[in-house]
Chains A and B, each alone.
Chain A
Amino acid sequence: MTMNRRALLKGLGAVGVATATGGRAAVARSRRPVAEDAVGMLYDATRCIGCKTCMVACRRANHLPYEKPGHPWDDPVDLSGRTKTVIQRYRGREGQSYMKRQCLHCLDPACVSVCMIGAMHKSEGGIVAYDPDRCIGCRYCQVACPFNVPRFQWDSPTPKIVKCEMCRHLLARGRLPACCEVCPTGAVQFGKRKALLAEAKRRIARHPDRYVHKIYGESDAGGTQVLYLSSVPFEKLGLPHLGTESVPRLSETVQHGIYKGFIVPAALYVLIGAAVRRHHRQRSVDERKEET
């Protein structure tokens, strides 16, 4: 259902672009518009004190097991099949900073683009959601994600993909994502993406000396719904330079270029069929001649 709606929207979008550009056919796949209702998070690394309360709250809200069961304290250092968010610390020449790792909820996510039957899908508010019932466990989402966000339950014989879904089960009950709810300093906040983007710009304008003059996610990888502010260059914090093009754009352009509405394969099939038939007939005629 959602797929149908998306396909329809995409089609309409393409028509819109085509008319706007005066009928010039768009060769590459058009950029997806940001949905009005897109929600998001703003993580301001300069406000984070590294208390990791968000990690505990996330684990509890999502019923995740401890990273190392049996240990006296829980101490995940990276995302995993048991951990959907993690606070990491950077210390270097550029100073020090914390970094909250989690799914960035891309506007045009690679994981959604590659997922065969929509286990990874854009859900309400643009949240990148996961439906294990549709998941085959092929792990193409892991190959595709430029942030290495989706993780796999390697130690289970019935594994699932694990990633932040912005606590959509809590949102449905009118609550906030667990990490945003518990953060004591407001370092991570939930809201409409538009409002968060405006807030981030305001903060940079008010304290130009405190921040790197860039909001990571505003347009990176085609834009993400989780936005980052920091005093340390983002690549030091593990947020790579990805450019402003969305990740699936190239592969979808090539794939749809080859398979334009399935016309090319259909035509190819007819051509091959015709060739095979002609040569097949010729050969049976030749064989009959030989026999007589």
Chain B
Amino acid sequence: MNPHAHALPEVTLPRSFRLLRILVGAGVVMMLWRFLAGLGATTALNDGYPWGLWIAFDVVTGTALACGGYAIAILVYVLNKGEYHPLVRPALVTSALGYTLAGLAIVLDVGRYWNLYKVLYVWRWNLNSVLLEVALCIMAYVVVLWIELSPAFLERWRRSPRRALRWISQKGDPLLQRALIWIIALGILLPTMHQSSLGSLLLIATHKLHPLWHTPLLPLLFLISCIAMGYAVVVFESALSSHLFHRRVEKRMLASLSSVMVGVLLVYLLVRFVDVAVRGQLGAAFRFDGYSVLFLVEVALFLAPALMLLSRRARTRSGSLFRAAMLMMLAGAWYRFDVYLIAFNPGRGWIYFPSVPELVISMSIVALEILGYVAIVRRFPILGGLASATGER
């Protein structure tokens, strides 16, 4: 599939990576504590804010940031922009890791995790439940992502000294070749479904979510913004790889990708603005109270990267490209935090601010993601197509 990609075992990691490992260790300790002592002892969650940082950040924002694989797949496989093909594998790695770890966060967050498998009891499915659809879709998509990524593993294992791995590679490859098209299609369908449904989840909170955010278009807004976030993560990730692995960034590819990003952003802003106007909430948007400021900052965060990348010069400068991508990711995260926590008001008397264990666990999951990315990229043929510039520094 991608004959130019190769593993990078020779790369040495910066010392700061030790910090990530310490963070993961601390996270594991906190997780054990959570299982032994329960959610009340370890989190700031309460009956008014039953969903906190782990849902808003690790699951909802985390999977949206893991939409790189999805966003690139739309470009390459649906819109037939084959030139972006080298971006597929690295994007898939971030997606597979992001979704898998979101799954971990769900296990941590639900109170009765030993009942989780019962979601598969088809005869009990409540098809009115948006969360059921999200849960099933995410479970399926985690599997799909690892299958999509498996050619990279099989390629490596073809020359493995271990016979078992060679055997898996031999048997797996033809199977995969036959099924890959439909797996790829599934890899586009499933995120379309559950990323929009992550917005639909809050439709039920008619009386709790502020009208600036509560709209029947929640699914559409979540879908468009996750695609924009997906592209941003691809840009971010390639800048990071170029730094870590001393590789030259494929500037032309990223520049044209960022023009796609601008388009997605403008569509999002248009939908958001028209929706607020049609629902007669423009007054609330410019009242300059807490919610209004929250909303305006959110819109500004979406607008800023779009404006930055409008100029062709900015698109080709990796610095401004990187900054725009960061802003874009922040904008999507901000929107999701607004919907799930900040603009969510269950009534008087309830407050929520994440506890130390919640924060540590969330950070440790991010750390685990970065470590996992580096580990996979070093061992398997993921990065490629870019001219290697090893030893330039």
List chain A positions with a Cβ less than 8 A from chain B. Answer: 3, 7, 79-81, 110, 112-118, 132-140, 142-144, 146, 148, 150-160, 240, 242, 247-248, 250-252, 254-256, 258-259, 265, 268-269, 272-273, 275-277, 279-280, 282-283, 286
The reply to whether B200 and A155 contact each other, CB–CB distance below 8 Å, is no
Main secondary structure of the interface of B (DSSP, over half): helix
Bound complex: CA A116 to CA B129 (Å): 6
Please indicate the chain A residues that have their CB under 8 angstroms from the CB of B126 in the complex.
3, 112-113, 115-118
> Contacts A159-B38, A159-B112, A272-B185 known; A115 to B129 CB distance under 8 Å?
yes
Q: Is B125 an interface residue (CB 8 A)?
A: yes
> Among the listed B78, B109, B112, which residue makes an inter-chain contact with A272, where contact means beta carbons less than 8 Å apart?
B78
Q: Is B330 an interface residue (CB 8 A)?
A: no
The reply to whether A148 and B48 contact each other, CB–CB distance below 8 Å, is yes
Please indicate the chain B residues that have their CB under 8 angstroms from the CB of A250 in the complex.
203-204, 206, 216
Pick 12 A–B contacts, CB within 8 A, sort by A: A116-B135, A117-B125, A136-B119, A140-B129, A142-B47, A154-B47, A272-B78, A276-B77, A279-B80, A280-B180, A282-B80, A286-B82
The reply to whether A114 and B131 contact each other, CB–CB distance below 8 Å, is yes
Bound complex: CA A248 to CA B46 (Å): 23
Please indicate the chain B residues that have their CB under 8 angstroms from the CB of A156 in the complex.
38, 40
Please indicate the chain B residues that have their CB under 8 angstroms from the CB of A157 in the complex.
35-38
> Contacts A116-B131, A255-B130 known; A276 to B50 CB distance under 8 Å?
no
Please indicate the chain A residues that have their CB under 8 angstroms from the CB of B21 in the complex.
none
Q: Which of B39, B78, B126 counts the most chain A CB atoms within 10 A?
A: B126
> Among the listed A135, A155, A259, which residue makes an inter-chain contact with B41, where contact means beta carbons less than 8 Å apart?
A155
User: In which size bucket is the chain B interface?
Assistant: 35 or more
Please indicate the chain B residues that have their CB under 8 angstroms from the CB of A282 in the complex.
80
> Among the listed B115, B118, B129, B189, which residue makes an inter-chain contact with A269, where contact means beta carbons less than 8 Å apart?
B189
Closest chain-A Cβ to B118's Cβ sits at a distance in Å of 6
Q: Is B110 an interface residue (CB 8 A)?
A: yes
Q: Is B308 an interface residue (CB 8 A)?
A: no
Q: Is B184 an interface residue (CB 8 A)?
A: yes
> Looking across the interface, which residue of chain B has its beta carbon closest to that of A161?
B111
Q: Is B351 an interface residue (CB 8 A)?
A: no
The reply to whether A252 and B128 contact each other, CB–CB distance below 8 Å, is yes
Closest chain-B Cβ to A180's Cβ sits at a distance in Å of 25
List chain B positions with a Cβ less than 8 A from chain A. Answer: 35-41, 45-48, 50-51, 76-78, 80, 82, 109-113, 115-116, 118-119, 121, 123-133, 135, 180-182, 184-186, 188-189, 192-193, 196-197, 200-208, 216, 219, 346-347
> Looking across the interface, which residue of chain B has its beta carbon closest to that of A151?
B47
The reply to whether B219 and A258 contact each other, CB–CB distance below 8 Å, is yes
Bound complex: CA A3 to CA B126 (Å): 7
The reply to whether B207 and A138 contact each other, CB–CB distance below 8 Å, is no
> Among the listed A110, A139, A269, which residue makes an inter-chain contact with B50, where contact means beta carbons less than 8 Å apart?
A139
> Looking across the interface, which residue of chain A has its beta carbon closest to that of B137?
A265
Bound complex: CA A267 to CA B285 (Å): 38
> Looking across the interface, which residue of chain A has its beta carbon closest to that of B214?
A250
The reply to whether B204 and A251 contact each other, CB–CB distance below 8 Å, is yes
The reply to whether A135 and B130 contact each other, CB–CB distance below 8 Å, is no
Please indicate the chain A residues that have their CB under 8 angstroms from the CB of B186 in the complex.
269
The reply to whether B207 and A146 contact each other, CB–CB distance below 8 Å, is yes
The reply to whether A113 and B115 contact each other, CB–CB distance below 8 Å, is no
The reply to whether B128 and A155 contact each other, CB–CB distance below 8 Å, is no
The reply to whether A247 and B112 contact each other, CB–CB distance below 8 Å, is no
* A-B contacts besides A118-B126, A152-B39, A254-B216, 8 pairs, CB < 8 Å: A7-B127, A116-B119, A136-B115, A159-B112, A248-B204, A251-B130, A272-B189, A275-B80
| Ranked 10 nearest A-B pairs via Cβ | A137-B111, A154-B40, A139-B50, A137-B112, A251-B203, A273-B185, A142-B50, A117-B124, A157-B38, A116-B132
